[in-house]
Amino acid sequence: MKHLIFSQTKKDFRIDTFCTGGPGGQHQNSNQNGVRITHIASGATAEGREFRSQAQNREAAFRRMANSEKFQKWNKLEVARRLGRLDDIDKKVERMMRDENLKVEYFESKS
């Protein structure tokens, strides 16, 4: 059984509409059917402009944004933070970044 850790609501996103232009003629040029979704916390953005319907474009944009790499990374970090595991991740990164675990190489260019 899956548990809901947190949810995102409309207030967590900025939704912009715009005229799409292109094929579709007057309908697309005079109606704001294109939708751009921005997730405020992560900065992930996506657009939907392939449909004549703003509702369909909004759904397509949300799907693209939710599947974007930037949103997925933010989501994983947010889940870890809310579960109290972010400290574990930070400690692991600190351990791996100690001097004894780093290899520094220096190359001189042949000029």
Distance CA 47, CA 62 (A): 8
- Class of 10-101 per CATH? alpha beta
Q: What's the chain's length in residues? A: 111
Task: List, for residues 16-31, the tens digit of each pLDDT value.
Answer: 999 876 655 555 556 7
Cβ pair 44, 38 in contact under 8 A: yes
Low-confidence winner among 1-5, 42-46, 62-66 (lowest mean pLDDT) = 1-5
Distance CA 88, CA 80 (A): 9
Task: List, for residues 75-100, the tens digit of each pLDDT value.
Answer: 988 888 888 777 777 777 777 788 77
Q: Where are the domains of the chain?
A: 10-101
